[in-house]
Structure 1
Amino acid sequence: MIWTMMPTNVFWLHWLPDIHAKTDSSYLGQQGANILIYSFPVLLVAALGCLYLHLEKYIDRSKDETPKESHFASWRQPVIVKGPLGIVSWIELSFLVMFLALLVWSFSAYVHGMFKNITRRSAVNMGEFVWEAKLDSAALLLGLVGNISLAFLFFPYGTNWNLKYGWRSSFDLWISFYGSQASRASGENFSSSSTTLIIFTLSSSCSLFYMWDSLILASRFPGFTVFLIDRYLRFLQSQQRIRLVSARVLPCQAMELNFSKDPGLSYNPASIIFINVKSISKIQWHPFTVTSNCKIDPDKLSIVIKSEGTWSQNLYQKLAFSTPTDCLEVSVEGPYGPPSTSFLRHDMLVMVSGGSGITPFMSIIRELIFIANTTSCKTPRILLVSAFKKTEDLEMLDFLLPVSGTSYDISQLQLQIQAYVTREKDPSLDSQKLDRSIWFKPSTLDRPVSAVLGPNTWLWLGAIISSSFGIFLLLIGILTQYYIYPIDHNTNMIYPYYAKSIISMSLLCMSMVIIATLAFIWNKKRNANESRQIQSADTPTPTASPGPELCSYDVDRELEGLPHYSFSRVTTVHHGERPNLKKILMERKESNVGVLVSGPKEMRREVATICSSGFAKHLHL
């Protein structure tokens, strides 16, 4: 409502003066009013949202989501499947249209109000023609409208919130295209979203250099606070060295890394984790899907990496062909989970994958195995359609179950696997190729993967937001009361807006760093004893241990012994053909079919096109 009313005379001539008259003081000065109407509501919602997310884990929604979900199912259907924005649903498109409408309304209202004050005489007094004065004003107002984008910019980049609910803001849709172009042009895989964020913020800030105002600061303040807290907590977590227990390397150049995990850490299926291997690159962080399940594997977290890029090829070379004398020094950020997708609300799940895109479905299948064995809930039937280029890539199916197997009865899951080898017609498989298992010697510096703020992360996060904001108000109030106000008296002559903005941002950063660091240290000390117990308990005891100077040893196994052969009776392999996705999906007779797709862009577009057609009312992408 505030952003909609800002371009109007009602806001500037009536609302804002009235707010200032009631809130201006010697403690916060004139910026107190802007903090009240712009910053406080958003931070309050963020804190309450964290409390809600903390309480949500105690609620079992598996039995009551079907009627609620049906009302919004059509809004989740894709409406755009091609173009720079990717696959866009009706919900995302609606918010994008509303955001564009807000920008157009703001710019047109500002221009209308300012152009009324530009006359021939006023232009001559400024040494310009009328059209020049109007052009200058339009350019200035365009920068002011850009402040709306900057105000919303930071929200989709808070990783916890973004990945928890899969947020893609309307503004994020616009810049996602430019972020993808920047990541392609960059030889190093930095976080493309963070890179885009920094570049856009700097460029936009330069365009607003002459427009610093406490209003602009306050409008960016809440989003920046949330982003800054999230990013700083990620930084603290990334400084820890993580215990890498073992690795499994397959001849198809796929690797499984198994990390020690705090049993108290829980995450949803298809969560992602950012990995940094300092011996390969100290600055590159790469996201990978977590393939393990926190219920089946309470002490272990696993990821699968396919050797396809420079970074992953270097890692494969280290694991497959070298004899390391030093343990891999690995750091992580995460895991960051998507929302609970409530697979149980569907009668059937069709999972379509291409190549390494099968990795998100591994944790989903393990989750459903656990549910089928431990609850009375009816699990949906599952059809896994996987496309691979070569026969050896079928070994990716080995990772569907943990390397140690599972004590759960996998026959309880109604699973069918259709595997397609698209570039080879010969079904023969070189049985002489062996996989390699590597166990790593633990280090006293290693720690298990754990939540950055412990099991009650959301509760701590809400406390950090509230406390940081409270300390910021206290510090800025003391500074203004006893230093700025006695000199400036709220005239903004000695301490203009930009100076106060710098002071405010400095105090904000200081408040956030103090509170977040204390919360991190508190949780780290509380979990220290438990972490040491886990570290000593998960050390493997090989039958033929190598010398103490080595940190790894190799165990070669034949492919016939791999876990995926537990699924051999439900697996059909097709050579020399591609899956007919339209036929496969349209033949589903169930009334409620959930469709998940992970793979190349062309595959995702094809599946989205099928699900968005008028003849696929029962398919929910």
Structure 2
Amino acid sequence: MGMMVRATVLALLKASMILLFAGWVALWILKPTEMWTKKWKGAEESAGGTVFGYYGLNFAVYTFPIIALAIIGSLYLNDTASGAISSRQRKTSLSSLSYPIIVNSLVGIISVVEILAILVFVIFLAWTFYCRISNDFEKLTPAKSLKLSIWQLKYLKVATRFGLLAEACLALLLLPILRVMPVLRLLGIQFEASVRYHTWLGTGMILFATFHGASTLFIWGVSHVIQDEVWRWQKTGRIYLAGEITLVLGLVIWITSLPFIRRKQFEIFYYTHHLYTLFILFYLFHAGDRHFYAVFPGIFLFGLDKLLRIIQSRPHTYLLSAKVLPCEALELTLPKDPKLKYSPTSVVFMNVPRISKLQWHAFSITSSSNVQEDTMSLMIKCEGWWTNTLCRMITEELSSDTHQTKCIPVAIEGPYGPSTVDFLRYDSMLLIAGGSGITPFLSILQEIVSAKGSSRYKFPENIQLIHAIKRSQDMSLLSSISHILRKQALGKLHLKLQVYVTREEQPDAPARILQDALSQGQIVHFDAKATSYAIHWFDKPTVTAAILGIALILFFVLLICFNHIFIPSEKKASTLKTKGADSKTKTPSSVVDLILLSCFVISVIVSMTVALMLRWRRIKKAVPSTSPKKAGGFTEPSSAEPHDPLQEHEVHYGGRPNFQDIFAKFPNEAGGSDIGVLVCGPELMKESVAKSLQQTSQGSSAKGRSKFTFHSLNFTL
């Protein structure tokens, strides 16, 4: 009976989310049509005579659906948390949608489902532009203040409508970078994979906004009014100066986000990105509250998401130990709450106040929560200023004479990972890693081995791990799974490792080098303080849903109250008139905008106060984690073994892996018909794997052989 009730509840939650999303999409499709415009004006006039006003109607129609979707999504994920591991029975034809269609150095690897999503969005933008501009051309009347020819007037209308296309991009811009709020996670999209959707939307928004702004300035220039218009801060309607400031801020953020700046000058990218607060503020002043409600869901969720993450990262925890590997990498161990469970391939964001109080960096978790119950391990490659500074801090501790070294406080956000683990559905798996791209696979292998005895799920029985590295010492990155590579407690699982050392020649005993690399590394143990709290997740998704609900209800109540208090009733009717009307009684647009902004700020502060109280209460109940148990689950390798299992693995020197040859041989070696290909590493390697897979799949589909399913993972952002 309990299972039936749970299934019914999940079905109702799922149906509610589908209806909300479908209604929101239908709203955006109807919004540019003349029919909707006429009906909407009538609806606003009717709402103006009620206690809710036009502002309540706009909020309920444009903003509420997505926030309600996030609330229901949190409840849905809470009920499905126990089934976080995806079983083979859940496999559907949707897996073929991950097949790489476009492999290009400019845009990267784009799958079938991404192509479909891009096409749908482009069609939507074209539909919006066509509906708006065709209606504008039908009602074309010259403006009294501007002496424009027909072509100039048409061009100005085109420029104006490009601003609406930028608005559509802004409505979606912040949704892909939500970490706590379950929006894209409901679709099985991880945060680090969705960051590029944020990049695409941001680029599109800036292109449309630049054309919108530059073309408007051009028309003002040819009509000789640019000096009058460019500095105008109108009392009502669209504020031109605010729009110009918004465009400049957007361009600064976009330019400093370009890869050659972001990678080489991360601090510039990081700090200029915080200009988004001013960008949103001046966009509100420029577009007005009616347009702002359309993009408000993403802003509302992002604001709460950001503050929830700040709360979760307090108080600081401390490093328990650090293993310094010969390949200039660190394996860090931190304390965590035994109740905290996470999926393989999850990431955390880490801040070290002694290095920088503002910079956060993402790292893949290399451990499994089923193996290390009260600790968590991260792998960090020392390649940039921030990571090199951390490496230097830890290596300096190695030279100290004391056994217990001074603790290093750190702040942690996360972990963030997929709601389901889809790699378990395959018969066999090919894991392809380049350099430190091995980190997500370390957690995958530990998860599979730790759950090998489970009768609930059927796991892949054949796994081949391909690891391409530059030098032999980089094999030490595999030290955390040395017990797995030595075939300890693998049961029916068959794991084969192939290492490709690209910049060294063949030595006399490659197997011995692998054995030495896996055993190398110096460990530093830190003196944990009594205040060394373990890492806790913020709370259950139900708490996130409750906080969202509090903020949503409070905002709506404040919006109604503040409008009735600060906008006298005799002026409310005038706010619904044409924006071009010059009336002394009309409320300034900036006042209405500031009311909306104030309601948002107050609702966020109150809901975050509630979240902080819940967090503090939970931490006070928690016992500080000062000496966690040694992570176990596997025995140490015995030197008395007559046969070294490491000899079964292969180490190749002086060349890169031939992926086409690997894809051709693996089905015969593994024997499975459904093969998952997971790749993580440099973009060039991912593209090479995707191209080889395209060629192999074309041949195998014709011959009816094994089916490959491609998945690209990221280990850095």
TM-score range, shorter chain: 0.7 to 0.9
Displacement of 1:93 in angstroms is 1.1
Paired residue for 1:138, among 146, 158, 170? 158
Alignment partner, residue 519 of structure 1: 611
- Whether 1:108 aligns to 2:188 is no
Query: Which residue identity does 1:182 align to in structure 2?
Result: L
Displacement of 1:342 in angstroms is 2.4
Distance 1:441 1:204 in 2: 45
Paired residue for 2:258, among 170, 182, 193? 182
Alignment partner, residue 468 of structure 2: 387
Cα gap change, 1:25 to 1:406, in 2 (>3 Å): farther
Alignment partner, residue 500 of structure 1: 592
Distance 2:75 2:322 in 1: 38
- Whether 1:349 aligns to 2:429 is yes
Q: TM-score, normalised by structure 1?
A: 0.86
Runs of 5+ consecutive residues of structure 1 not aligned to the other structure: 541-557
Displacement of 1:528 in angstroms is 2.6
- Whether 1:568 aligns to 2:646 is yes
- Whether 1:610 aligns to 2:692 is yes
- Whether 1:371 aligns to 2:394 is no
Q: Secondary structure at the match of 1:233?
A: helix
Distance 1:212 1:184 in 2: 32
Distance 2:143 2:297 in 1: 39
Report the RMSD for the aligned CA atoms in angstroms. Answer: 3.2
Paired residue for 2:560, among 456, 477, 481? 477
Query: Which residue identity does 1:608 align to in structure 2?
Result: A
Cα gap change, 1:196 to 1:585, in 2 (>3 Å): farther
Contact 1:96 1:170 in 2 (8 A): no
Query: Which residue identity does 2:607 align to in structure 1?
Result: I
Query: Which residue identity does 1:436 align to in structure 2?
Result: Q
Query: Which residue identity does 1:6 align to in structure 2?
Result: K
Alignment partner, residue 280 of structure 1: 355
Cα gap change, 1:191 to 1:353, in 2 (>3 Å): farther
Cα gap change, 1:123 to 1:22, in 2 (>3 Å): closer
Report which stretch shifted further, 87-96 or 105-114.
105-114
Contact 1:27 1:476 in 2 (8 A): no
Paired residue for 1:333, among 407, 413, 419? 413
Contact 2:178 2:305 in 1 (8 A): yes
Alignment partner, residue 146 of structure 2: 126
Cα gap change, 1:397 to 1:58, in 2 (>3 Å): closer
- Whether 1:579 aligns to 2:601 is no
Cα gap change, 1:196 to 1:105, in 2 (>3 Å): farther
Q: Secondary structure at the match of 1:418?
A: strand
Displacement of 1:217 in angstroms is 1.6
- Whether 1:57 aligns to 2:81 is yes
Report which stretch shifted further, 284-293 or 376-385.
376-385
Cα gap change, 1:24 to 1:65, in 2 (>3 Å): farther
Alignment of 1:135-534 (within 5 A): 135-160=155-180, 161=182, 164=185, 165-166=188-189, 168=194, 172-175=199-202, 182-186=258-262, 187-189=264-266, 211-322=286-397, 323=399, 326-375=406-455, 377-380=457-460, 381-400=462-481, 409-427=489-507, 429=513, 435-452=521-538, 454=539, 456=540, 458-486=541-569, 488-492=571-575, 493-532=585-624
Cα gap change, 1:539 to 1:373, in 2 (>3 Å): closer
Distance 1:10 1:51 in 2: 36
Q: Secondary structure at the match of 1:284?
A: coil
Runs of 5+ consecutive residues of structure 2 not aligned to the other structure: 1-25, 205-253, 576-584, 631-635, 702-706, 711-717
Paired residue for 1:620, among 700, 709, 717? 709
Contact 1:270 1:364 in 2 (8 A): yes
Distance 2:456 2:645 in 1: 23
Cα gap change, 1:176 to 1:446, in 2 (>3 Å): farther
Report which stretch shifted further, 93-102 or 108-117.
108-117
Q: Deviations over 1:171-219 (max 9, x none)?
A: 6434479689535314553696x7786567866876x677533321211
Displacement of 1:60 in angstroms is 6.6
Query: Which residue identity does 1:460 align to in structure 2?
Result: V
Q: Deviations over 1:409-451 (max 9, x none)?
A: 2345321111111111143659699521111111233321110
* Identical aligned residues as a percent: 27
- Whether 1:595 aligns to 2:688 is no
- Whether 1:36 aligns to 2:74 is no
Distance 1:54 1:191 in 2: 38
Alignment partner, residue 246 of structure 2: none
Cα gap change, 1:264 to 1:581, in 2 (>3 Å): same
Distance 2:658 2:138 in 1: 62
Contact 2:125 2:165 in 1 (8 A): yes
Q: TM-score, normalised by structure 2?
A: 0.75
Alignment partner, residue 547 of structure 1: none
- Aligned residue pairs total 588
Alignment partner, residue 546 of structure 1: none
Cα gap change, 1:402 to 1:149, in 2 (>3 Å): farther
Alignment partner, residue 17 of structure 1: 41
Contact 2:289 2:596 in 1 (8 A): no
Paired residue for 2:108, among 72, 86, 89? 86
Query: Which residue identity does 1:166 align to in structure 2?
Result: I
Q: Deviations over 1:573-607 (max 9, x none)?
A: 12222211111112232210000001111110111
Query: Which residue identity does 1:343 align to in structure 2?
Result: F
Alignment partner, residue 22 of structure 2: none
Q: Secondary structure at the match of 1:73?
A: helix
Displacement of 1:389 in angstroms is 0.7
Q: Deviations over 1:462-521 (max 9, x none)?
A: 111111010111122222233323463342254334322222122112212221331232
Displacement of 1:82 in angstroms is 0.9
Query: Which residue identity does 1:392 align to in structure 2?
Result: Q
Q: Secondary structure at the match of 2:465?
A: strand
Displacement of 1:279 in angstroms is 2.0
Q: Deviations over 1:119-175 (max 9, x none)?
A: 5xx357732222222222222221123111111112112123477332638664344
Contact 2:105 2:687 in 1 (8 A): no
Q: Deviations over 1:285-324 (max 9, x none)?
A: 1111001111111101110112222222222222123457
Query: Which residue identity does 2:420 align to in structure 1?
Result: S
Distance 2:139 2:699 in 1: 57
